[in-house]
Chain A
Amino acid sequence: GAVVSQHPSWVICKSGTSVKIECRSLDFQATTMFWYRQFPKQSLMLMATSNEGSKATYEQGVEKDKFLINHASLTLSTLTVTSAHPEDSSFYICSAREGGGSQNSPLHFGNGTRLTVT
Chain B
Amino acid sequence: AQSVSQHNHHVILSEAASLELGCNYSYGGTVNLFWYVQYPGQHLQLLLKYFSGDPLVKGIKGFEAEFIKSKFSFNLRKPSVQWSDTAEYFCAVNDRNSGNTPLVFGKGTRLSVIA
List residues of A whose CB falls within 8 A of some B CB: 4, 6, 31-32, 34, 36, 41-46, 49, 93, 95, 97, 101-104, 106-107, 109-112
Say whether B61 faces chain A, with CB atoms less than 8 Å apart: no
Partner of A109, one of B43, B97, B98, B107: B43
A-B contact pairs, 27 of them (CB 8 A): A31-B100, A32-B100, A34-B102, A36-B105, A42-B107, A43-B107, A43-B108, A45-B105, A46-B103, A49-B102, A93-B43, A93-B44, A95-B103, A97-B100, A102-B100, A103-B94, A103-B97, A103-B99, A103-B100, A104-B32, A109-B36, A109-B43, A109-B44, A110-B43, A111-B42, A111-B43, A112-B43
Which 7 residue pairs are nearest across A and B when measured between Cβ atoms?
Answer: A101-B100, A109-B44, A43-B107, A111-B43, A44-B105, A34-B102, A43-B105
* Nearest chain B residue, comparing its CB with the CB of A59: B102
Say whether B9 faces chain A, with CB atoms less than 8 Å apart: yes
List residues of B whose CB falls within 8 A of some A CB: 4, 9, 32, 34, 36, 42-46, 49, 51, 90, 94-108
Once the chains bind, are B9 and A41 in contact (CB under 8 Å)?
Answer: yes
Q: Which chain B positions have C-beta within 8 A of A32?
A: 100
Once the chains bind, are B106 and A43 in contact (CB under 8 Å)?
Answer: yes
**A31 and B99 alpha carbons, distance in the complex (Å):** 12
Residue from A42, A43, A106, A111 having most chain B Cβ neighbours under 10 A: A43
